[in-house]
Structure 1
Amino acid sequence: MHIDNINYLRENFPRVRKYMLSLPEIERINVEELKAKNDSMTAKIQVGEKKVFLHSSYSPEKEAEQLIHKETQANIDEDSHVIFFGMGYGYAIKAFISKYPSKEYSVIEPNIEVFEKVSEKISFSSLFNTKLKYLFVAEEFSYEEMISKIAQSIGKQVKIIALPTYANLYKAEISQLYDLTKNLIRNKRVTFATNYKFQLNWMENSIKNHRYVLDTPNIVSHVDFEQFRNKPVVIISAGPSLSQDIEHIRYIKDNKLAYLFSVGSAINALVSADILPDAVFSYDPGVKNHQVFEKLIAKGLDSIPLVFGSSVGYRLLDLYKGPKMHFITSQDQVTRYLLGDEILKKELILDSPSIAVMTFQIVNKLEMGPIIFAGQNLGYLYNRRYAEGIDYNFIDSNVQEKEMNNSLNVEDVYGNVIQTNLGFNNMRESLERFASMYNRQYINTTKGGAKIKGIEFKTIEDVIEDDLKKGINKDNWWEGNNKYGVLNYHNKLNKLHDAIDDFKIELNNIINLNVKISNTDDNSALECYFKEIDAVRSKLEKNAFYSFFIVKTIKVQHELMIEKLLKLSKEPNILIRSNLVNNMYNNYLPYVVKASNILESLFLSEIKEND
């Protein structure tokens, strides 16, 4: 490798340099360098018993220009990230940079011999500009890892540009990249939509539920651990297959063969069948979540412990009069701030696509086993989304034709193809990640449900026969006392009130500075105002009320503001930048003001009562 390229990699991509040094010294004979008809560099690559040209044998530059023209005809907007699959001698990258000098991109070179040959002939510092975000070589990472790393640079679109030769040689790999990027974009959109929908709910619920968190035991750490350890548990979900196994659930209940934990809407199917689970779990922050439990509440069935996520819709906790326990969700900024070190890593339950996934985390932390799933279809069966006995006026239990037409195909437990939706698919992938993380004994009894990697399928009849052979003592298992210490609690609360006062001062400062920016076109004055407004924003970011609570309440708007801030900082024209700054704050600050008014009112009315 040329010394200049060694230095370039050391400075910009040390990981690649380290990887290259780790490779064994072997003779590499599969790449033959040649000159094209126009005297430019190209090469032949050995593929089986034949050789193929890496670039055009006539004019690599012209081939590259045609490729970039073809691949960018639909235009590449400012939110697109381009991934080059194949670097070769860099002709396509040069053509792209010439057309889009300010566009960010990443490069994957899958052939180690090509990379080595090229690194001896061309200068990386001349080929790449400063917009190159990631450079990956050969098998340094899996494609999943590559896309995961690139994810932070990906906006709303991804464009993969493959060298023509590589498009034929690496069809499977490129197809995998397309699938990975498509899933990434889709999941980012889901996350964006979820944050936009629930960001205020999470904060409002966490504040209003805080008194219940202080008055109830934490299921992960405030009750006797030994009554759960290595005890079987059935997580009962609301999928349509639950109807087939309801009598087996009754048998398990009657003979005390396992803990029965009902999640979400499953409680309605169980109540309809006169089966009372050992606990019902809920975490949905939505304003309609309490309606899921109307049947339970209307019948006065208040002997079942309710295990609630600390950011659950607050109305449920006010309406349900039975025993309660809690778990701390990663979305609960209030409890995490006020209790601080009292919340151990083990006690924090990561926000997930469904309450089944949250409960799965909890029973793993409690070291229960085997952990058994029932009614966890994660797909459509008989064109229904819920089991019999579950019907709402705000969502149809039957899957409509439009949903079926937009469905995804996944493998079921029998190896057949079933239809599912994006939400169910995200739940399945989350279960698979946690199953891999905890690695305990898991069984999925859901007949006709989606296959869950890492969780074996076994009928509930066989589970009863093979795995649930003796009864267990579950009497009053939920009894326990809240064990959070309050030594620093009041101090934290007082500091928060001080932070609210300080926040108001800095908010007023940033509003006034933004007005000054809009009212002047003097360059020197604008430079001063830019420095001042940046300093005030830095103070705000260190303010607990703003950083812990307001930012989390307007997470979507804050992320959009940060994106704009990074882009406008590169604008060389000071007057254009002043307009961009002014517009950015004019869009963002009203959300800050509204959120601060709501949160201050909630803190004063709810948290102060616990002082």
Structure 2
Amino acid sequence: MKENNTYIDNISALRRRFPYIIDLLESCNLENKEVSSNILKSKDGNLTMSLKRNKEEIYLYSKYNPLSRVKNKLEYDLKEVKKGKKNVLLLIGLGLGYEIEYMLNEEYIDNIIVFEPDIATFCDVINKKDITNIINSNKVVLILGENDEYLESLMSYVCSNVVYSYSQIYIKTNKQYNKIYPKKISIFLKKFKDILEKNKTNLDTEIRFSLDWSKNIIKNIPYLFESYSVNIFEDFLKNTPAFIISAGPSLNKNIQLLKAIDNRGIIICTDTALKPMLKNNIKPHLVISVDGSCKNYKKYENTEYADIPLFYSVKVNDKILSECKSKKVIYSAYDEELSKILKKLNIGLSNLPSGGSVANNALSLAIFMNANPIVLVGQDLAYSNNQKHATGTLYDDSKNYIDQEEKLVEGIDGKLLKTNESLLTFLKWFEDVIKRDKNNRVYVNATEGGANIKGTTVMKLEDVINRYCNEPKDLNLRFNNLLENSTYFINEEYRKEVIGIFEDELFNLIKYKNILEENIKICEILINEIDSKLIREYLEILDLNDRKISNVKNETIFIGSVLTNATNNIILNIRRNNNLNESENENNKSIALDNSLYLYQELIKSIEYIIPIIKTTINKLIR
């Protein structure tokens, strides 16, 4: 492509804001284009554009006065945006960027997400039209092309940082784009919605449990001095079958068959399945846990499993560890707070990726151990026989009911089954992980019911055992030898250093609380203040304090959870209920101050919740 000043300016702007687009452009083969574009001057002197596929040519804009036509169409869209209280515009098709340029000045649109399905068309545009104002705008996020890995990574970022709910989004698709790229657009919208739902589920979980997780992490740190690291188990199961046992309702059909494995494969038991396994006199090689809720503790309460190693995330409910008599193995589920502590100690710990369920973590553990094949048992991911869990679990009897909005999923027999959004998220995660595994590993779905998991071979459990469990592996002996010949994850020599980390954290949280208390006083004054000069002075103090808070935040370990607990609730409340703009409502000053005041108060509550837990942990570490 011949470079000109317009192209160079656009590329420079892209390199600064969207370097991943530069990578795409450099790796893209623009020969043999399916769609060709033609950018030319309209009758009024502005640029217009057409797309041609095969012999059909379609104009995206008017040949005569493209800008006025765009403006007329967008006025309707803007009315719909206001009416629906949308604050994010998802624009399908960049075109010449006229729609974006018009929308950039609308105050009530916080973000504009642009999906351009064709890299070649994008190249033609940046060669002919200056779109640096679009590229440089902090409101705009550009999503380009159809590279799966790039798309999913970028969309995950967008869904985590830009938009919370599908209800926030106003989708505008150029009708002509839909004629040219119907399949690409359909696939993109489905992926976008799936990722958005997944991130919404994760965010809702964070909001509900962030402080509980922090409490558990703080209380569980002393147990790291008596736990082993998951690192020692890397490649431990090379070419050994691994059976991941979940507590879906189909486990009732084949749980007894698990006895036939007889140490010729490893049994990784999820915590929910532990009680039914023990009730049926089946001893797994290990049990894995991640959930920090009180309900998760109930899965272990009054259960004897002293000879079964517990693999746990530091977020797990602290009562589980306080009562655990078995050997413990710590792994990271991308636990940010733990990572900060370990970084200070210069100690590494392997992460086990998770899609939100303990079975997801179990699969990551089996892959980390290099097991092959990996067999899923009791992994229904659907309401088989209108049940959610197997007999004998915490959720048995009257509590084993469907409590979320129903969805439909294809079963292993091709028939549709009822499920819910959370289970679909777990299913999608399984399928993505299996798809990305390039190690020729065999994945088997031996659930004998439930949802079809793409990438797995469906087999009866009896046939799996007969086919893959032919050689004794002495797994119990190997487990014990490995643990007995390993040291604990954190040695005693680090105890004073860990105590110092928590003492620093306590100091920073108290400093943070003092600044917040000053901000509360200022907000209370500002609510009734009418003197513009005083208002500016107080706002300057708030701005200075916010910078101090930012500095303290960078020095602390647990402030992220405090902020998550307080800030996300308020942000979501504003997005769902207020949706107001300063130019539209005279009461916005009061609303903004009320929200700020509430935020500061919630942050203080969260800090006051965490401080005594840290003090207790320090005392426990000292003793």
- The equivalent residue for 1:357 is 360
User: Structure 1 residue 412 and structure 2 residue 411: aligned?
Assistant: yes
- The equivalent residue for 2:209 is 198
How far, CA to CA, are the matches of 2:156 and 2:230 in structure 1? 33
Contact 1:37 1:57 in 2 (8 A): yes
**1:432: Cα distance to partner?**
3.3
**1:106: Cα distance to partner?**
3.2
Contact 1:351 1:358 in 2 (8 A): yes
**1:213: Cα distance to partner?**
2.9
Aligned to 1:265, the other structure's residue is in SS state helix
1:529 corresponds to which of 541, 545, 548 = 541
1:147 corresponds to which of 143, 155, 161 = 155
Moved more, 179-188 or 69-78: 69-78
Structure 1 residues 489-508: aligned runs within 5 Å:
489-508=495-514
2:224 corresponds to which of 201, 210, 213 = 213
Contact 1:110 1:137 in 2 (8 A): yes
1:270 corresponds to which of 274, 277, 280 = 277
How far, CA to CA, are the matches of 1:102 and 1:308 in structure 2? 43
**1:236: Cα distance to partner?**
0.8
- The equivalent residue for 1:485 is 491
How far, CA to CA, are the matches of 1:170 and 1:182 in structure 2? 18
**1:285: Cα distance to partner?**
0.8
**1:276: Cα distance to partner?**
2.6
How far, CA to CA, are the matches of 1:147 and 1:455 in structure 2? 26
- The equivalent residue for 1:451 is 452
The number of residues matched between the two structures is 590
> In the superposition, relative to structure 1, how do residues 564 and 542 fare at CA in structure 2: closer, same or farther (>3 Å)?
farther
How far, CA to CA, are the matches of 1:324 and 1:504 in structure 2? 37
User: Structure 1 residue 164 and structure 2 residue 175: aligned?
Assistant: yes
Contact 1:207 1:334 in 2 (8 A): no
- The equivalent residue for 2:370 is 367
- Which residue type is aligned with residue 347 of structure 1? S
How far, CA to CA, are the matches of 1:27 and 1:176 in structure 2? 22
In structure 1, stretches of 5+ residues that fail to align are none
**1:473: Cα distance to partner?**
1.2
Contact 2:208 2:565 in 1 (8 A): no
Aligned to 2:490, the other structure's residue is in SS state coil
Which string of whole-angstrom CA distances, capped at 9 and with x for unpartnered residues, describes residues 17-46 of structure 1?
A: 675566668698944556667675434432
Which string of whole-angstrom CA distances, capped at 9 and with x for unpartnered residues, describes residues 302-347 of structure 1?
A: 4433333322122233445x41313233465665455546675453
- The equivalent residue for 1:82 is 89
**1:593: Cα distance to partner?**
2.3
User: Structure 1 residue 104 and structure 2 residue 115: aligned?
Assistant: no
The normalised TM-score by structure 1 is: 0.83
User: Structure 1 residue 248 and structure 2 residue 252: aligned?
Assistant: no
Structure 1 residues 319-398: aligned runs within 5 Å:
319-320=323-324, 322-330=325-333, 335-340=338-343, 345-350=348-353, 352-390=355-393, 392=395, 396-398=399-401
> In the superposition, relative to structure 1, how do residues 317 and 55 fare at CA in structure 2: closer, same or farther (>3 Å)?
same
Which string of whole-angstrom CA distances, capped at 9 and with x for unpartnered residues, describes residues 171-228 of structure 1?
A: 222222322232233223212210121112112222223333322333543x7x7864
In structure 2, stretches of 5+ residues that fail to align are 575-580
Contact 1:86 1:162 in 2 (8 A): yes
User: Structure 1 residue 549 and structure 2 residue 558: aligned?
Assistant: yes
- Which residue type is aligned with residue 388 of structure 1? T
How far, CA to CA, are the matches of 1:342 and 1:454 in structure 2? 40
Structure 1 residues 88-127: aligned runs within 5 Å:
88-97=95-104, 103-111=110-118, 114-115=121-122, 118-119=125-126, 122-125=129-132
- Which residue type is aligned with residue 8 of structure 2? I
Q: Percentage identity across aligned positions?
A: 20
> In the superposition, relative to structure 1, how do residues 560 and 317 fare at CA in structure 2: closer, same or farther (>3 Å)?
closer
**1:95: Cα distance to partner?**
4.1
User: Structure 1 residue 470 and structure 2 residue 471: aligned?
Assistant: yes
- The equivalent residue for 1:283 is 290
- The equivalent residue for 1:313 is 317
Contact 1:79 1:155 in 2 (8 A): no
RMSD value, Cα = 3.9
> In the superposition, relative to structure 1, how do residues 79 and 534 fare at CA in structure 2: closer, same or farther (>3 Å)?
farther
Contact 1:234 1:374 in 2 (8 A): yes
Aligned to 1:208, the other structure's residue is in SS state helix
Moved more, 225-234 or 352-361: 225-234
- The equivalent residue for 2:239 is 230
**1:92: Cα distance to partner?**
3.0
Moved more, 211-220 or 184-193: 211-220
The normalised TM-score by structure 2 is: 0.81
Contact 1:342 1:485 in 2 (8 A): no
Contact 2:334 2:351 in 1 (8 A): no
- Which residue type is aligned with residue 380 of structure 2? N
Which string of whole-angstrom CA distances, capped at 9 and with x for unpartnered residues, describes residues 32-86 of structure 1?
A: 5566676754344323233223224565345423432444443257763223222
Which string of whole-angstrom CA distances, capped at 9 and with x for unpartnered residues, describes residues 139-194 of structure 1?
A: 57765455345333224323331212112222222222322232233223212210
How far, CA to CA, are the matches of 1:123 and 1:226 in structure 2? 53
How far, CA to CA, are the matches of 2:552 and 2:591 in structure 1? 20
How far, CA to CA, are the matches of 1:122 and 1:331 in structure 2? 43
User: Structure 1 residue 595 and structure 2 residue 606: aligned?
Assistant: yes
How far, CA to CA, are the matches of 2:340 and 2:193 in structure 1? 36
Which string of whole-angstrom CA distances, capped at 9 and with x for unpartnered residues, describes residues 7-26 of structure 1?
A: 13313456456755666686
**1:263: Cα distance to partner?**
0.7
How far, CA to CA, are the matches of 1:13 and 1:334 in structure 2? 33
> In the superposition, relative to structure 1, how do residues 100 and 247 fare at CA in structure 2: closer, same or farther (>3 Å)?
same
Moved more, 311-320 or 170-179: 311-320
**1:375: Cα distance to partner?**
0.9
> In the superposition, relative to structure 1, how do residues 123 and 358 fare at CA in structure 2: closer, same or farther (>3 Å)?
closer
> In the superposition, relative to structure 1, how do residues 98 and 209 fare at CA in structure 2: closer, same or farther (>3 Å)?
closer
How far, CA to CA, are the matches of 2:335 and 2:32 in structure 1? 57
- Which residue type is aligned with residue 241 of structure 1? S
How far, CA to CA, are the matches of 1:561 and 1:399 in structure 2? 30
Contact 1:232 1:370 in 2 (8 A): yes
> In the superposition, relative to structure 1, how do residues 374 and 116 fare at CA in structure 2: closer, same or farther (>3 Å)?
closer
Which string of whole-angstrom CA distances, capped at 9 and with x for unpartnered residues, describes residues 554-606 of structure 1?
A: 414245779999xxxx999xx99987885454222223322323322112223
How far, CA to CA, are the matches of 1:95 and 1:215 in structure 2? 61
**1:494: Cα distance to partner?**
2.2
- The equivalent residue for 2:577 is none
> In the superposition, relative to structure 1, how do residues 158 and 561 fare at CA in structure 2: closer, same or farther (>3 Å)?
same
> In the superposition, relative to structure 1, how do residues 500 and 78 fare at CA in structure 2: closer, same or farther (>3 Å)?
farther
> In the superposition, relative to structure 1, how do residues 103 and 229 fare at CA in structure 2: closer, same or farther (>3 Å)?
closer
- Which residue type is aligned with residue 380 of structure 1? Y
How far, CA to CA, are the matches of 1:38 and 1:334 in structure 2? 59
- Which residue type is aligned with residue 175 of structure 1? S
Contact 2:502 2:614 in 1 (8 A): no
User: Structure 1 residue 512 and structure 2 residue 514: aligned?
Assistant: no
Aligned to 1:55, the other structure's residue is in SS state coil
- The equivalent residue for 2:578 is none
